[in-house]
Amino acid sequence: MNRFTSLKVFSAVILLVSLSGCGGSANFVSNSASMISDQESSLFRLLLILAGVVFIIVEGGIIYAVVRYRRRRNDTTEPRQVYANGPMEIIWTVIPVVLVVILFVVMLNTMSAVAAPPAGPADINVTVVGHRWWWEFDYPDLGITTANEMVIPANANVKLTLKSVDVIHSFWVPQLAGKTDVVPGQINTMWLTAKRAGDFNGQCAEFCGIEHALMRFKVVAVDKTAFDQWVTNQKKPAPAAQTDLEMQGQNLVIKGACVGCHTIGGASAQGGKVGPNLTHLYSRSTFAGGAYPLNDTNLTNWLKDTQSLKPGNLMTMHVPDKDIQAVLAYLKTLK
């Protein structure tokens, strides 16, 4: 590969990589779902346009100068040397200063708009707890604890209280709101309102260890009726096992090591809080910190060997092969 070809390949790769970041459904610039993201999106567009104009003028000037004033074949003498140009220096000082002041003012406005609490009181309070490497969502007023999928009513003012049990994480749902750090020993708060129903992908945005990249979650915004149904279901205790296989699984789970880390059975049930609450596991569509779709194959693989699916995660136990069918059958009743 000659140098020119390498340069072309390099540019193509850079272009591809930078564009691939823009197409996803979590893109807040073209697919915003809240007032906050609208504001952030407008700021981004303004910046992009101003930076684009500056880029074209500056790069255009460079290209023009290089071509127009290049050394010609019959040039024998040095070109005329020029020192300082008053008007030009004033122009290239004043224009950037004006641009920076404009951006500063617009940015301050955006910051205060996105940080301001909504006019009305909170419709829903959710306590978000960051764990390595999954998210716990507690609804203190409703007595619900779930994981990795935060269900909210669309068009409701949601107040989030952010806590961490271990290291610093950052809560980020691009289509709904900006990032807020989740810091151990400190309580941060934020607000969000989804303008429409839908699934909005979230991601931990602060490097927090080996599985930071798989510390994902979803905000599921639904209409009021669907939300009320969800609440009613989540408040129910876990259903009792019916078949022999389910019963066998229930014994393994409830009397085994699982409850050392996981709570199963409802709000009053005993169980650990190190891992996600499993009472209504199968009402969720993902598991393992949003890393995998929740289905029989993935969950079987997980129970066999969690470390191969999410290396370094804190669930170091595995279910022996002979017990997998029973445990899976029981977990599937937890809807």
Closest distance between ligand CUA and the C-beta of residue 212, in Å? 4
Closest distance between ligand CUA and the C-beta of residue 309, in Å? 18
Report the C-alpha gap between 235 and 230 in whole angstroms: 9
Cβ atoms of residues 10 and 2 within 8 Å: no
Q: Residue 130 corresponds to which amino acid?
A: G
Closest distance between ligand CUA and the C-beta of residue 204, in Å? 3
Residues engaged in binding ligand CUA (CB under 6 A)? 130, 133, 169, 204, 206-208, 212, 215
Pick 165 or 247: Cβ nearer ligand CUA: 165
Closest distance between ligand CUA and the C-beta of residue 109, in Å? 30
Report the C-alpha gap between 303 and 308 in whole angstroms: 11
Pick 215 or 315: Cβ nearer ligand CUA: 215
Pick 57 or 210: Cβ nearer ligand CUA: 210
Pick 130 or 276: Cβ nearer ligand CUA: 130
Cβ atoms of residues 103 and 47 within 8 Å: yes
Closest distance between ligand CUA and the C-beta of residue 312, in Å? 12
Closest distance between ligand CUA and the C-beta of residue 23, in Å? 23
Closest distance between ligand CUA and the C-beta of residue 324, in Å? 29
Pick 153 or 276: Cβ nearer ligand CUA: 276
Pick 171 or 330: Cβ nearer ligand CUA: 171
Pick 204 or 303: Cβ nearer ligand CUA: 204
